[in-house]
Amino acid sequence: MDGENKMNAYLHTKKHLCAFACVALVLSLAGCMREPETALRIGTNVWIGSEPLYLARELGRLDPAAVQLVEYPSASEVLRAFRNQAIDGMVISLDELFGLAADGFQPRIILVVDVSHGADVVVGRRGMRTMRDLKGKSVAVESSALGAFVLSRALAVNGMQAGDVNVVHLESNEQPSAFEKGQVDGAVTFDPYRAQFLRAGASTLFDSTQIPGEIVDLLAVRATVFERHPRAIQALLAGWFDAIDYMKSEPKDAARRMGIRQQTTGEQFLEAQQGLHVPSREENLRMLGGVTPELAVTGRRLMSLMVDAKLLRRGLDIEGVLAPGPLVDLQR
């Protein structure tokens, strides 16, 4: 091969090697780059405890590009959406989370939203005074674990058995109408529906002050979400605590805003809130983290009650569902 041909061959080879190197570099950089995060979809039901999330969104403290709130009429539908992977996370009660975890859906608790202290109730017809007045009567219960748990505890505390009442499965938003039509004599309910029952003449026969610490609402996400949505989780937690701060500094305006969504007045919303304790960030860290997380202690007691009442097939490792990391990392 003459000199000119050798030079052409060399240049041709060099050109291909450069092109290959460029492609390899691009692929290497692409492998190092994280895919852009999609919005985190958080499911809630109509419940006063979830309202700080919507307040955060209204105040512009919850970036819609990072977090999308999806509201369902009932907790049952929130659970169904999580099981069907239509949402990434949800506001859920601890007993309901146990059911998901036992079924292998891997929920992880990132925040304790509230602890019920009178907000969850059993109501009955006018003139009824105690749970025993419901014996032989029909009681509306949502087909989620929480409704069944509240009823089972209300019965047990009053020395009654599950067979003492006739359970009618109705979603929480369907119950007040059924009560007014005489289709049921009582219901397991919460605000804003409790207010509708009371306006219809119902009496409160049991409330969650009688089982302190047993009804806990949580913000939980799917285990795989931690890798895909780290910034969105931080935005979600920051938005929550921004809303809580606003509720403390501007209680009347916050209640007015949240009451509009719940179809109540600000004063009625503030009254209903008295049945909830909303833990601070510091309380949350004690409940979810540390050597002995407080929620692990109360959770094991709750789990035992659920297994005994046949609301849970088996126990599980509660520490495995606690995820305090994002809260620890939260920069405020």
Q: What is the mean pLDDT of the chain?
A: 88
pLDDT value of position 102: 93
Q: Per residue in 182-193, pLDDT tens?
A: 999 999 998 888
Domain that holds residue 19: 1-33
Residue 9 pLDDT exceeds 80:
no
Give per-residue burial for 53-78: e unless 16+ CB within 10 Å, then b.
bbbbbbeebbbeebbbbebbebbbbb
Q: Examine the domain organization and report whether 286 and 223 are in the same domain.
A: yes
Q: Examine the domain organization and report whether 200 and 221 are in the same domain.
A: no
Of 210, 242, 261, the residue at which a domain comes to its end is: 210
**CATH number for the domain harbouring residue 89:** 3.40.190.10
Q: Per residue in 29-71, pLDDT tens?
A: 444 455 567 899 999 998 899 999 999 999 999 999 999 999 9
**Residue 131 to residues 23, 215, 298: CA-CA distances in angstroms?**
74, 19, 25
Q: Highest-confidence range of 210-214, 220-224, 303-307, by mean pLDDT?
A: 220-224
pLDDT value of position 186: 96
Q: How far apart are CA 155 and CA 150, in angstroms?
A: 9
pLDDT value of position 56: 97
Q: How many CB atoms lie within 10 A of CB 137?
A: 15
Mean pLDDT of 200-216: 92
pLDDT value of position 2: 54
pLDDT value of position 15: 53
CB 276 within 8 A of CB 117: yes
| The model scores a pTM over 0.85 | no
Q: Examine the domain organization and report whether 13 and 131 are in the same domain.
A: no
Range with lowest mean pLDDT among 14-18, 59-63, 194-198: 14-18
Q: Examine the domain organization and report whether 266 and 133 are in the same domain.
A: no
pLDDT value of position 308: 84
Angle at 325 between CA 320 and CA 330, to 5 degrees: 155
pLDDT value of position 30: 44
Q: Please state the domain count of the chain.
A: 3
Q: Examine the domain organization and report whether 309 and 261 are in the same domain.
A: yes
pLDDT value of position 314: 86
CB 277 within 8 A of CB 117: yes
Q: Examine the domain organization and report whether 261 and 131 are in the same domain.
A: no
The partner residues of 115 in beta bridges, in order of sequence, read: 216, 277
CB 164 within 8 A of CB 123: no
Q: How far apart are CA 212 and CA 227, in angstroms?
A: 35
Q: How far apart are CA 317 and CA 332, in angstroms?
A: 31
Q: Examine the domain organization and report whether 88 and 104 are in the same domain.
A: yes
Place of tokens 């929550």: 240
Q: Examine the domain organization and report whether 225 and 323 are in the same domain.
A: yes
Question: Strand (E) positions, the chain?
Answer: 40-45, 67-72, 89-93, 107-116, 120-124, 138-141, 166-169, 186-190, 203-207, 216-222, 276-277
